[in-house]
Amino acid sequence: MEDKKPKIDACFSPFLYPVYKDDNSIVVIIDVLRATSAICVAFEYGVEKIIPVATVEEAREYKQKGFLVGAERNGLPLNGFDFGNSPFNYMGDHVKGKTIVLTTTNGTQAIEAAKNAYKVAIGSFLNIDSLCNWLIKENKNILLLCSGWKNKFNLEDAVFAGAVTDKISQGNENYKLGDGCLALKYLYQLAKENPNKFLSHSSHKERLAALNLKEDVRYCLTPNQTKVIPIYKDGALVKM
């Protein structure tokens, strides 16, 4: 007999997305350090739309047309654009009511990979509770898509995917957990006491610390700074 329970699973890299995708899943894009955190902050501060693009060339074309553009590669903001990828770049009235174009090393690549999914939402520690409450209400299959680093697994996105799995499945027998998200749920149980410490030797945390971005890391790991849930609709991210 067919199992009618909705499923949750986690995909460790955009490279593996074609293996995991199905037509009925809500895909949660995860790049907690830092793209999906910066996106949540921008919507909290009233941005109207974010157009994610995969390449710097596309971003440049938008810039030439007069758009505000955020562009990051390898953790650094690119010259000639308005913002980088730090959540602090998007805090303030300067983003209110604006359309911003964004390209990042990994996060916008994951959005590009999943953009034709049934629904695409943006997840970060900053919006974790409202995201999980919404996902539970939707009662659909969930695929947690970790952006990783250049198609490789990374620890911080994995820990966040585990946190979402943990919250959604806690005391709730309604979901069938795939092995990917089950593994990450166990990982999160090791990390939850002190995620910052747990991640202290992770490659991306070290990379950002070398760029003097420890404050970004600390902020991005702080739960529930906003209730916004950005979703992808007609080629852009908008507030749900």
What is the contact surface with ligand 3SL in residues (CB under 6 A)?
31, 33-35, 72, 75, 85, 104-107
Residue placing its CB nearer to ligand 3SL in the complex, 12 or 175: 12
Residue placing its CB nearer to ligand 3SL in the complex, 32 or 177: 32
Residue placing its CB nearer to ligand 3SL in the complex, 103 or 165: 103
Least distance to ligand 3SL, CB of residue 104, Å: 3
Least distance to ligand 3SL, CB of residue 107, Å: 3
Residue placing its CB nearer to ligand 3SL in the complex, 35 or 132: 35
Which residue's entry shows tokens 């010259």? Answer: 79
Least distance to ligand 3SL, CB of residue 44, Å: 17
Least distance to ligand 3SL, CB of residue 189, Å: 25
Least distance to ligand 3SL, CB of residue 212, Å: 12
Residue placing its CB nearer to ligand 3SL in the complex, 75 or 162: 75
What is the SS3 assignment for the chain? CCCCCCEEEEECCHHHHHHHCCCCEEEEEECCCCHHHHHHHHHHCCCCEEEECCCHHHHHHHHHCCCEEEEEECCEECCCCCECCCHHHHCCHHHCCCEEEEECCCHHHHHHHHCCCCEEEEECHHHHHHHHHHHHHHCCEEEEEECCECCECCHHHHHHHHHHHHHHHCCCCCCEECHHHHHHHHHHHHHCCCHHHHCCCCHHHHHHHHCCCHHHHHHHCCCCCCCCCEEEECCEEEEC
